[in-house]
Structure 1
Amino acid sequence: MCGRYVMARAVGDLVAELEAEADANLELRASWNVAPTTDVPIVLERLVDGVLHRQVHVAKWGLVPRWAKDPGVAVRAFNARSETVLEKPTFRAAAKARRCAVPVEGYYEWKKLPDGKKQPYFVHTKDGSLITFAGLYEWWKDPGKDDADPEAWLLSCTILTMESPPEGELSTLHDRLPVPLDREAMAEWLNPAPGEAAGLLDMVLAEAHQLAAAWQLDPVGPDVGNVRNNSPELTVPVC
């Protein structure tokens, strides 16, 4: 699963690394302890006047389907299991038409130790480059507000997960893995043109374990367990 991660890049850096564009007024808050239901950057593609545009937006982490009565369901939908994402009512419509990528600088996972305690790890690329996770996004409208009111609309997202690799260090960390995308797969995943969702999902899952095999796992201190702690020191390895 993926329940905490790091995203401290500035808007300009994200735009450059993702080869995207962003609204001039877009603001991002650097965070070394991103938690579900907070606002996070996502990248998606839209057709504008017949031209495909890759854009960075800010979304609530926790998908709120269009049919939801209120946005509170987001707390239960920050991850989507790849095995059932095409069937689950919460995710299936977004999986077919509203796919996104969620950029992270690394994520945290807790490994259960023999004594019952849990050791947090920071999982990241060795060179500090971005990881992009396969995600879905959705627009939800507050039924009590007018369509023309910008505050009536909520953009939300989720991160896809899959089974962890059967071997290697990641296999001992957790039984679930957030699904990574390389640059080529991201371009296909983001494309909003009608396509076979099952085929796209199979494509990204097929290469996920190989991509994740290059990540570095560093044990970190217990402070990351409290969402109120938020500083670069959370990612510093401990002996």
Structure 2
Amino acid sequence: MCGRYVMARAIGDLVADSGALEPDEELVLPPNWNVAPTSDVPVVLERAEPASGTKTRREIHVARWGLVPPWAKDLSVGSRAFNARSETVTEKPTFRAAVKARRCAVPVDGYYEWLKPEAGAPKSAKKRPFYIHPEDGSPIYFAGLYEWWKDESVPEHDPARWLLSCTILTGASPDATDVEAARAEGVDQPGLNALEQLGGLHDRLPLPMDRDTLDAWLEPERLGSAEAAGALVDRVRRQAFRTASGWILDEVGTAVGNVRHNGPELIEPLETLL
């Protein structure tokens, strides 16, 4: 799963890397080395150009992390919907409309995951946090969904009446069979090692996208059925491990477990290895 992540690069850098247009108004998000659910985060999405009917424009917006569907009575739904299981996303009421029509990418520098003590370990053994990030320093684009929610308690012409929110899709982490499949596809040994480490770290993985998959995922076409949406989700899952094979895992200090701690020191690796 993805419960905390890092996004420390400037909006302008994301615009350049993602191919998005410059925002019409200035977007300011301070660097955040400990992004938690319900925080404001950047999202990348595409919209159809109304005038042309065929062209699209890629945009960056700021959204609340934790999807709030239009039918929700209040924001509390979002605190439980910061991740969406890809296996059931086309069926769950919270996500099934968004996956057909409101897909986005959530850019991150990396994310944190905690390794539980092994079975039989002493009771004093603690969970160990790891920072997972691309070895080349490029951003990760997680497959996501977005929704607009209307706050009926806010006056009609107040911009605060509308809330943009998002979620991140997750899938099963790679197992031994997936690692062997990646080997057959030509993934090198460091990449295979990364997949093995990811599989041993947690049973769920936030789903990253390569550039071709990103383009397909962001296409603003409204899909006509759950089957069509499921086929697109399957495409994301099929390439996720190859994309993740370019990541490295660094053990970091336990300070990341407290959201009051926020700074670049959180991602400094410890000397120990997974």
Normalised by the shorter chain, which TM-score bucket? over 0.9
Q: Which moved more, 1:14-23 or 1:171-180?
A: 14-23
Show CA shifts across 1:208-238 (max 9, x none).
Answer: 1121122100000000000010000100000
Matches within 5 A, 1:156-235: 156-167=165-176, 168-195=196-223, 196-235=228-267
Matched with 1:69 is 73
Query: Quick one: distance in 1 between partners of 2:9 and 2:60?
Result: 12
Q: TM-score under structure 2 normalisation?
A: 0.85
Choose between structure 1 and 2: higher strand proportion. Answer: 1
Unaligned runs of 5+ in 2: 177-195
Matched with 1:90 is 94
Matched with 2:113 is 109
Q: Secondary structure at the match of 1:181?
A: coil
Matched with 1:136 is 145
Q: Secondary structure at the match of 2:234?
A: helix
Q: CA deviation at 1:23?
A: 2.9
1:99 corresponds to 2:103: yes
Query: Quick one: distance in 2 between partners of 1:45 and 1:11?
Result: 16
Q: CA deviation at 1:148?
A: 2.8
Q: Which moved more, 1:101-110 or 1:208-217?
A: 208-217
Show CA shifts across 1:19-75 (max 9, x none).
Answer: 102233211121000000000000000013233110000000000000000011111
Q: CA deviation at 1:199?
A: 1.4
Matched with 2:9 is 9
Query: Quick one: distance in 1 between partners of 2:235 and 2:156?
Result: 37
Query: Quick one: distance in 2 between partners of 1:57 and 1:120?
Result: 30
- Quick one: which amino acid aligns to residue 26 of structure 1? L
Query: Quick one: distance in 2 between partners of 1:213 and 1:188?
Result: 21
Show CA shifts across 1:144-188 (max 9, x none).
Answer: 234432110000000000000003111100000000001110011
Q: CA deviation at 1:14?
A: 0.5
Q: Secondary structure at the match of 1:54?
A: strand
Matches within 5 A, 1:142-153: 142-153=151-162
Matched with 2:192 is none
Query: Quick one: distance in 2 between partners of 1:69 and 1:129?
Result: 38
* Consecutive aligned runs of 4 or more in structure 1 exceeding 4 Å deviation: none
Q: Secondary structure at the match of 2:41?
A: strand
Matched with 2:187 is none
CA RMSD of aligned residues (A): 1.0
Choose between structure 1 and 2: higher helix proportion. Answer: 2
Unaligned runs of 5+ in 1: none
Q: Secondary structure at the match of 1:128?
A: coil
Q: Secondary structure at the match of 1:180?
A: coil
Matched with 1:125 is 134
